[in-house]
Amino acid sequence: MQWASCVFLSLLPFCSAFPTEADEPCASTCGTDKGLVLGVYATEKEEKAVQLTKAGDAFDQVVSGKLKELLSISGPPLKKGKTRIFHALHQNFSSVVIVGLGKKGAGVNEQENWNEDKENIRAAIAAGCRQVQDLEFPYVEVDPCGDPQAAAEGAILGLYEYDEFKQKKKPAIEVQLHGSEGAEAWQKGLIYAEGQNLARILMEGPANHVTPTRFAAVIGEKLKSISSNVTVHIRDQAWIEAQEMRSFLSVAKGSEEPPVFLEIHYQGSSDTKEPPLVFVGKGITFDSGGISIKPSSNMDAMRADMGGAATISSAIVTAARLKVPINLIGLAPLCENLPSGKANKPGDVVRAKSGKTIQIDNTDAEGRLVLADALYYAHSFNPRAIVDAATLTGAMDIALGSAATGVFTNSKQLWDQLYEASIVTGDRVWRMPLYEHYTKQVTDAPLADLNNIGKYRSGGACTAAAFLKEFVTAPHWAHLDIAGVMENKDEVPYLRKGMAGRPTRTLVEFITRLSQDKKSV
């Protein structure tokens, strides 16, 4: 797969933003082929004065107050996330896009469980950059809006669109920070957003291109190119068989594509003996449902059923780029779930690596089968904590929709860290119940120790989590059901329609926080 993107990501030196008449002409990146995105805050009805950002005020002074004048006479005050374009205001910028940031200093919204300022900036900057892209300018400078990281995330996430196999592509555009203030935070935002875009690329890729083998190769190539502290093991079927991961293999055997067990080790801590944080990701590169076949409508979206593997792998790639001082291990059982003469049949019984037997009454409940062996294997690393991510159940989509990732955990400390991270990123999590009530529904199986579906239709996400819990003994474990956040239609304004790559940034922020707090978990 070619890793072309519609956005060039860099933090390049550029000309002084506002040269005086005596200054020399700008270099090639300045002038009529560049756009500028600036922010404006919402004002109360009684306030008549336009309230620009710091960068906006500086620009307005250079153009002798013309920007505020035009904003005052060109229509009503800009609403949050809306844009207005002005042309020929300054010799260095063909067009200036003004974006509405909403109320200044909104802070954390306790009802919404996110930092409203950051979310407003991401949405506004994404809208402004798309306007510049539509004008087909190759360069755009972005106002940091008081939060350079959020601005960078909005720009890079907002411009991304998967067009790998299209002849007609969106115009490439290079994103630059306007001014020099906050360059480090801006760079961090670029890396966070690029990490989520990597997950989006993997999830969006057609299943005949992103096979288990190719997925593992792409992540391996990425990691080896950015860090010497990374070891990547691409385990083949013989290794999986030797590990007696029969639950995983039972899903893989229905496909001609060979299974792969991807194992990533990132040694970020100076203490080589420090227990690692272990991530496990469901890696079904295409899910037909197997013998319990899914309806044909929208089945193409099941190319993204490896979203758990994509997000945890991309989070580790991002952590490695940021040189986060923590030890990480990523485990991704990768295979396809297809119907064939070799595929699992409803009523089959398999023995997992742990020794427990599983009655498979629904072959479309395959994610928990591959995760069971991976979770049990994760304990062999003496983990500080285990976190798994999986597009596991349609029931989670029904429960929460695309608003938040559902989290099932046996650890309050782990939950607190995930929750606080999600407030910062805006990619929210919500805690779900992990009651014994649900465990009883999967342990009451007529033929085996466990059944891979609950006794009743209700509480499907909860019974799936209860099933996974049967393969976990670690005191700090969290299961993230990301089925509801797999795709974006129009719910997240700074993401275009398609696979969302969520919650990669929340995982990266979570990793960063754990690296700074050695006592919480």
Render pLDDT for 160-211 as a digit per residue (tens, 0 to 9): 999 999 999 988 999 999 998 999 999 999 999 999 999 999 999 999 999 9
Model confidence at 8: pLDDT above 60: no
Question: What is the reported pLDDT for 1?
Answer: 31
CB 174 within 8 A of CB 140: yes
> From the CB of residue 179, how many other CB atoms can be counted at a distance below 10 Å?
21
> From the CB of residue 412, how many other CB atoms can be counted at a distance below 10 Å?
11
CB 333 within 8 A of CB 322: no
Rg (alpha carbons) of the chain, rounded to whole number: 24
d(CA 263, CA 331): 5
Active site positions, annotated: 294, 368
d(CA 317, CA 111): 32
Model confidence at 272: pLDDT above 50: yes
Question: What is the reported pLDDT for 227?
Answer: 83
Kindly list the distances between the CA atom of residue 237 and the CA atoms of 243, 334, 335, 338, 452, in Å, as whole numbers in the listed order. Answer: 10, 11, 10, 17, 23
CB 470 within 8 A of CB 448: no
* Least confident span in 218-222, 363-367, 514-518: 514-518
d(CA 260, CA 275): 25
- The mean pLDDT of 33-57, rounded to a whole number, is 88
pTM beyond 0.85, yes or no: yes
CB 411 within 8 A of CB 476: yes
- The mean pLDDT of 427-433, rounded to a whole number, is 98
Tell me how far the alpha carbon of residue 52 is from its chain's centroid: 31
For strands 108-109 and 114-115, give the pairing: antiparallel
Burial class of residue 394 in the structure, from the number of CB atoms within 10 Å of its CB (0-12 exposed, 13-18 middle, 19+ buried): middle
67 backbone dihedrals φ, ψ, rounded to 5°? -65, -50
- The mean pLDDT of 314-337, rounded to a whole number, is 98
d(CA 97, CA 86): 6
Tokens of 53: 């950002």
Which contiguous run of DSSP H or E holds residue 194?
A: helix 183-204
Q: How far apart are the first and last CA of the chain?
A: 38
Dihedral sign computed on CA atoms, order 132, 194, 214, 281: negative
**DSSP labels, 254-300:** TSSSPPEEEEEEEE-SS-TTSPPEEEEE-EEEEE--TTSPPPSTTGG
Model confidence at 19: pLDDT above 70: no
Residue 313, classed as helix, strand or coil, is helix
pLDDT confidence bin for 212, thresholds 50/70/90: very high
- The mean pLDDT of 420-435, rounded to a whole number, is 98
Q: Percentages helix, strand, coil for the chain, rounded to the nearest 5? A: 35, 20, 40
CB 193 within 8 A of CB 227: no
d(CA 125, CA 423): 19
Render pLDDT for 63-74 as a digit per residue (tens, 0 to 9): 999 999 999 999
What torsion do the CA atoms of 313, 314, 320, 325 make, to the nearest 10 degrees?
A: -70
CB 307 within 8 A of CB 199: yes
For strands 230-235 and 260-267, give the pairing: antiparallel
Cis? peptide before 503, omega within 30° of 0: yes
Model confidence at 23: pLDDT above 70: no
Collect all residues with Cβ–Cβ distance below 8 Å to 76 and sequence separation of at least 6: none
Kindly list the distances between the CA atom of residue 235 and the CA atoms of 165, 259, 332, 352, in Å, as whole numbers in the listed order. Answer: 29, 9, 10, 18
Model confidence at 319: pLDDT above 90: yes
Kindly list the distances between the CA atom of residue 149 and the CA atoms of 153, 156, 228, 422, in Å, as whole numbers in the listed order. Answer: 6, 11, 26, 15
Domains of the chain: 7-181 (3.40.220.10), 196-516 (3.40.630.10)
d(CA 193, CA 195): 5
